[in-house]
Amino acid sequence: MKSKIRTNSIVKVFIVVLICMSTVMACGLDKSKQSSNQNNVDGDGQVSISGELQQWHKIILDLEGPFSQETGAAINPFTDYRYEVIFTHESGTPTYKIPGYFAADGNAAETGADSGNTWRAHLSPDKIGKWEYKISFVSGSDIIISESKGKAVSPYDGITGNFNIEPSDKTGRDLRGKGRLQVIGEHYQRFAGNGEYFLKAGTDAPENLLSYDDFDATPNVNDLRKSWAPHLKDYSEDANDLLWGPNKDKGKALLGAINYLYSKGMNVFSFLTYNIDGDDHNVYPYLLKGEESAYVAYSADNKGHDATAWEDFFYPDRFDCSKMDQWERIFEYGDRKGMYLHFKTTEAENCLNMDGGSLGRERKIYYRELIARYGHHLALNWNIGEETEQTVEQLKPIIQYIADTDPYKHQVVLHTHSPVEEQDKYYPPMLGDASALTGISVQTRHPDFRRVHADILKWVKASAASGKKWIVACDEPGDATHSLIPDDEDPTHDDPRKNALWGTLMAGGAGVEWYFGYKHAHSDLTCQDWRSRDKMWDQSRYALSFFKDNNIPFWEMSNTNDLSSQDDSYCFAKEGEIYLVYLKNGGDTKLNLTNSKGKFHVSWYNPRTGGELISAADISGGRPIALSAPDKNDWLAMVHK
């Protein structure tokens, strides 16, 4: 835990510096403290470029700018300076206007600094060759969210320079070898570097993943903060450079947890970045106004719409630089391990906190800071909020603001409560050109997951009919009470596998994130051992492997359930070329190939164990054909030319 020393004005800092410089021996300053104090002056405008200067890698542009503090009284560095960098490739395109941010001493994750003169911006370049940059640095009251030009701050505004980018040397699942995951107007996203289309499978829980012992200034309301100790054994030395703390050992358990997901073949994890007044209370990027103990005592007994912690305990426009830098270390490891980052930015209990749920000063500052610090990551979505309770009229401007502010145009999604009526309330008014929404994060409500396939299919079809295809994912299948229960209670996971996992994929959905019900061990709030669902990670990997290993062109396919005669089967096809038929309980069906002439081959895939396809027969199209599964368990038939 970090105790931050605050001052009320920059003047006080300068006075202390002058006194201590004249009486160094009396002050007893060590070298590190002297170095810190020497930085309590404005920078001279020097620019440093760091990171691996390769395509798709994180490039860091640091400016030695005006000195400031997280709680600076004279000027708020998070609102009253606007630091942006325009990056342009030598060819003239692309050009990115990247929002920058106040980074304290430039190494706050390790030093815990709350002051400094480092101003940072990130670029993940999509082309090799020379890139040029031009810095815009202006000041003014709330200039960070203003359309005003502001007052140029000399000597920083207008600084230019350039650097060269080489090809990436990364391969495999490392996202830096694939490029940025882009929304391309289809039901699936595609990596800009290697052209690979994306299906996801991974974890939607715990939602309080960032409630972690090793992050600075993270409280422990209701004893929900995590150590992630069960995953210490999963730590890999490829994360050594991301550790922090005096002994360079902080972060190890959570980094190990991410590596565990990687080892199981998963490619997504999600997390809340703001749960003040919510279920957990311990995750937020903001600064407390007073003592942490007072906040903990209040929050232990209060949550939801009647709670007032947001108003009473927090600066709505001041951020914790060291904590947010430490979060970044986890997200950076996610890139290396091929992980899609699901940012859930509010939840049902607190989605009305900022500006009463509308797009106002507080919400603009919040989203701009998230985008500035984390928008460079290669695969992510911005989720407006878990189980939103805002109105459609409130949400549309928020969605548009994120779309306009994010230079990389990442996926923006919306999540509702589980009843069909809630989906019907929010999603239809967002379809087509009615909003900047590019996808939805679907939640269902039945313990046996029986509604997943129908719900996903409904919105895949509705968005296509609107002229703007959404990326539709099932991110909370099941119900709040049970959902994906631990392996020791349900070792086969038949319902989630059949109805949610394959139900989503065969409906044209983009993938599944597994939610953990609150009634069981290792719940949505208490889980810190992902091995509790180890068997379901295996079954999820088998599904992803089937599509990848067999070169299934899922992005060109659509749901065709009516071609199969078995009532509870799923069919997914590129008609005339390839048909996938999922028989939930084995048995027999007829696949109608009347309009598909020529020779086809039939193979069977076991979704329970994975492995190789079982070759069955060659058949002729132009007629209905009989398919008989190997037994009464669930099987997937692949029928292809």
Would the pLDDT of 25 be above 50? no
Contact 224, 525 (CB under 8 A): yes
pLDDT grade, residue 546 (50/70/90)?
very high
**CA end-to-end span of the chain:** 61
What CATH number is attached to the domain comprising 606?
Answer: 2.60.40
pLDDT digits 0-9 by tens, 199-250:
999 999 999 999 999 999 999 999 999 999 999 999 999 999 999 999 999 9
Tell whether 433 is covered by a domain. yes
Tell whether 457 is covered by a domain. yes
- Percent of the residues in the chain that have a pLDDT greater than 90, as a whole number: 93
Q: What is the DSSP string of 102-129?
A: E-TTTTHHHH--SEEEEEEEEE--SS-E
Q: Are residues 349 and 461 in the same domain?
A: yes
Q: Are residues 423 and 349 in the same domain?
A: yes
* Domain total in the chain: 3
pLDDT at position 40 is 85
Q: Are residues 514 and 621 in the same domain?
A: no
Angle at 450 between CA 577 and CA 519, to 5 degrees: 135
Would the pLDDT of 328 be above 90? yes
Measured between alpha carbons, how far is residue 295 from residues 14, 115, 277, 309, 341 in Å? 32, 24, 11, 7, 29
Q: What is the rounded distance in angstroms from the CA atom of residue 347 to the CA atom of residue 325? A: 23
Q: Are residues 139 and 185 in the same domain?
A: no
Tell whether 1 is covered by a domain. no
pLDDT grade, residue 33 (50/70/90)?
very low
**Enclosing H/E stretch for 471:** strand 471-476
Region 471-500: mean pLDDT is 97
Q: What is the rounded distance in angstroms from the CA atom of residue 132 to the CA atom of residue 384? A: 33
What CATH number is attached to the domain comprising 43?
Answer: 2.60.40.10
Region 613-629: mean pLDDT is 96
pLDDT digits 0-9 by tens, 342-376:
999 999 999 999 999 999 999 999 999 999 999 99
Contact 397, 358 (CB under 8 A): yes
Q: Are residues 302 and 419 in the same domain?
A: yes
Residues 6+ apart with CB under 8 A from 291: none
Q: What is the three-class DSSP state of 572?
A: strand
Q: How far is CA 447 from the centre of its chain?
A: 26
Region 520-536: mean pLDDT is 97
What CATH number is attached to the domain comprising 463?
Answer: 3.20.20.80
| 28/537: higher pLDDT | 537
- Which burial class, exposed, middle or buried, applies to 220 when counting CB atoms under 10 A from its CB (0-12, 13-18, 19+)? middle
Q: Are residues 154 and 214 in the same domain?
A: no
Q: Are residues 401 and 528 in the same domain?
A: yes
pLDDT at position 22 is 34
pLDDT grade, residue 112 (50/70/90)?
very high
Q: What is the DSSP string of 481-521?
A: SSBS--TTT-SS-HHIIIIIIHHHHTTT--EEEE-B-TTSS
Q: What is the rounded distance in angstroms from the CA atom of residue 220 to the CA atom of residue 212? A: 9
Tell whether 152 is covered by a domain. yes
pLDDT at position 73 is 86
DSSP 264: T
pLDDT at position 39 is 58
Q: What is the three-class DSSP state of 204?
A: coil
Contact 416, 426 (CB under 8 A): yes
What number of CA atoms fall less than 13 Å from residue 257's CA on the CB side? Answer: 26
**Residue that terminates a domain, selected from 108, 143, 165:** 165
Tell whether 252 is covered by a domain. yes
Q: Are residues 453 and 537 in the same domain?
A: yes
pLDDT digits 0-9 by tens, 578-601:
999 999 999 999 999 999 999 999
Q: Are residues 316 and 439 in the same domain?
A: yes
Tell whether 635 is covered by a domain. yes
pLDDT grade, residue 327 (50/70/90)?
very high
**Residue that terminates a domain, selected from 165, 188, 203:** 165
Tell whether 226 is covered by a domain. yes
pLDDT at position 297 is 97
Question: Mean pLDDT of all residues in the chain?
Answer: 94
pLDDT digits 0-9 by tens, 51-76:
999 999 999 999 999 999 999 888 99
Return the HEC string of 130-158: EEEEEEEEEECCCHHHCCCCCEECCCCCC
pLDDT digits 0-9 by tens, 262-290:
999 999 999 999 999 999 999 999 999 99
The count of other CB atoms within 10 Å of the CB of residue 411 is 24
Q: What is the rounded distance in angstroms from the CA atom of residue 544 to the CA atom of residue 511? A: 9
What number of CA atoms fall less than 13 Å from residue 371's CA on the CB side? Answer: 26
> How many residues are recorded in the chain?
641
**Residue that terminates a domain, selected from 549, 580, 609:** 549
Q: Are residues 525 and 606 in the same domain?
A: no
pLDDT at position 67 is 97
Q: The domain containing residue 160 runs over which residues?
A: 10-165
pLDDT at position 190 is 98
Which of these, 61, 37, 162, 54, lies nearest to 118 by C-alpha position? 61
Instruction: Summarize the chain as % helix, strand, coil (round to 5).
Output: 30, 25, 45
What number of CA atoms fall less than 13 Å from residue 133's CA on the CB side? Answer: 28
Tell whether 555 is covered by a domain. no
Would the pLDDT of 3 be above 80? no
Q: What is the DSSP string of 277-301?
A: TSSS----SEEESS-HHHHHHHHTT
Residues 6+ apart with CB under 8 A from 311: none
pLDDT digits 0-9 by tens, 430-455:
999 999 999 999 999 999 999 999 99
Contact 187, 460 (CB under 8 A): yes
Q: Are residues 112 and 139 in the same domain?
A: yes
Q: Are residues 465 and 605 in the same domain?
A: no
